[in-house]
């Protein structure tokens, strides 16, 4: 397990301001950007992600989230689970976590 990186759920918070970004598209992009930053800090990258878990507040948003998600995971998409949840911290619309290798 020493070569695995476990990235806890990343909310769509802009790290420069500490503020939750607005809108589903921007929140999805920011959550993925935050995952990417954590991975890069740990010596990994999005192309080394093995599994993601995506939490969304409304399953009707899945198609839009999937559209944005597929822009970041283009070549070999990792395994993914997606769950609709009753609520997320800070009233976010999306949160993403992952497991990657170095």
Residues annotated as catalytic are 82
Count Cβ neighbours within 10 Å for each residue of 44-83 and write b for 16 or more, e otherwise: bebebbeebebbbbeeebeeebeebbeebeeeeeeeeebe
Distance in angstroms (rounded) separating the CA atoms of residues 18 and 100: 25
| CA–CA distances in Å: residue 94 to residues 2, 7, 46, 88 | 29, 15, 18, 7
């Amino acid at each position: 397990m020493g070569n695995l990186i476990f990235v806890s759920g990343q909310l769509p918070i802009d790290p420069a301001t500490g503020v939750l970004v607005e809108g589903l598209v921007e929140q999805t992009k920011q959550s993925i950007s935050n995952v990417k930053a954590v991975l890069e800090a740990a010596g990994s990258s999005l192309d080394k992600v093995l599994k993601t878990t995506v939490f969304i507040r409304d399953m009707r948003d899945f198609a839009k989230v999937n559209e944005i998600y597929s822009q970041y995971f283009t070549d070999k998409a990792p395994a993914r689970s997606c769950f609709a949840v009753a609520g997320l911290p800070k009233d976010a619309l999306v949160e993403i976590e992952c497991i990657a290798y170095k």
